[in-house]
Amino acid sequence: MRLTPRSSKIIKCSSYILYHLRIVNVRSVWLDAVEQVYFISGHPLMIDCKIHDYNGEKVTWGRFDSEQVRHESKGKMMDGEKDTKILRLTIELADTADSGMYSCRVGDREDEKIVYTEIATVRAPGANVSEGFDANLKCELTPDYMQKSLVWQRDGLPLDQIPSLKDRISLDQENASLTIKNAKLSDAGTYTCEIRLIGNKVQTFTENVILQGRPYRMETDPADKVFSASETSLTLKCPVKGTPSPEVFWQRGDDVLESGTKYTMTSKGDVKSANLEISEPHEDDFGEYVCTAENVMGKVDITFNVVNATMAQIPGGGPEAQAGAGGHNAGHSVWKFSTDLLALLALVAVPAKVAYFS
């Protein structure tokens, strides 16, 4: 039976005598048990002291040094469940020096909650894609005796749910090493290693592991992924990706194009200047345009050809292009402009004019 200052109880001591027991002053505060918790260097360290039946007394966190001297630390008091308060101690960027024994005390009591913390480090170096060779990513934890589980993801998806990686990934026994076989440029990106450390509490941390690769041309099906047109403008869309995200610039002949009245450059996703809009296109605007995408790993040139034609072949033309003339125009797309233009404008993206540089 647990009694508080508000408790009142009739106790029968014998068949003839009754005693009325009233508790007038009991300190009822109590704390949770000892904990062992693990954290990862570079992430916040947060430990909670839950005070049950909080009565307003001062509550402090402290850490013991090598001489077992307790040094007080500031915490933040928060509301918990009914009649419960939580004093949270936070170290924003913990490192291994923050490992040790921490205690939570209420008032001048001798009893306290003890938390043992250990800070681990993660080695997660990036890697580079070399087409046709294996790429290896690591997520190694030190010390390695901690209970843990590791899961790899890319773009928020488990690797076995990414079709392009099917049958090309292998993991070591503890999932700390990931190998991508016969790597492709499209394998580049940000992979995440989710680490679950198991102590009295399960702590989950995420580390980013970067697989770098030079820019590459993406698939261009349907055709509107590489250009679009209206009665007043034509937009060329440089279909590139890369990690790190590439920078794009446009050329026509020997001239590097800049944004102004005639040309406007806008971003496409995280690729700056990937779209080139040509305002009020006419016959003088026919010809070749080159987009160059470059990052620290290399660059790629893609050539566009704006032509005077009634139809132009687009690699991988969509269903709408194949529907006309009983399928005769398969692989072709037609964009109609206002009748005052000299001709129809179309775009040919020539695969033979995709050039890669390392």
Domains of the chain: 30-120 (2.60.40.10), 124-215 (2.60.40.10), 218-357 (2.60.40.10)
The mean pLDDT of 187-194, rounded to a whole number, is 94
Residue 319, preceding bond cis, omega within 30 degrees? no
**Exposed, middle or buried by CB within 10 Å (0-12, 13-18, 19+), for 351?**
exposed
For residue 164, the model assigns a pLDDT of 92
* Closest by Cα among 98, 194, 110, 103 to 151: 194
The answer for residues whose C-beta is within 8 angstroms of residue 108's C-beta and 6 or more apart is none
For residue 199, the model assigns a pLDDT of 80
pLDDT at 288 over 50: yes
For residue 311, the model assigns a pLDDT of 35
Residue bearing the bigger pLDDT, 322 or 144 = 144
In which band, very low, low, confident or very high, does the pLDDT at 225 lie, cut at 50, 70 and 90? low
**Prediction pTM value:** 0.70
Instruction: List the beta bridge partners of residue 20.
Output: 10
pLDDT at 192 over 60: yes
pLDDT at 201 over 60: yes
DSSP per-residue letters across 93-147:
S--GGG-EEEEEEETT-S-EEEEEEEEEEEE---EE--TTS-EEEE-EEESTTS-
Tens of pLDDT, residues 226-275: 767 666 888 888 889 999 999 999 999 999 999 999 999 999 888 999 99
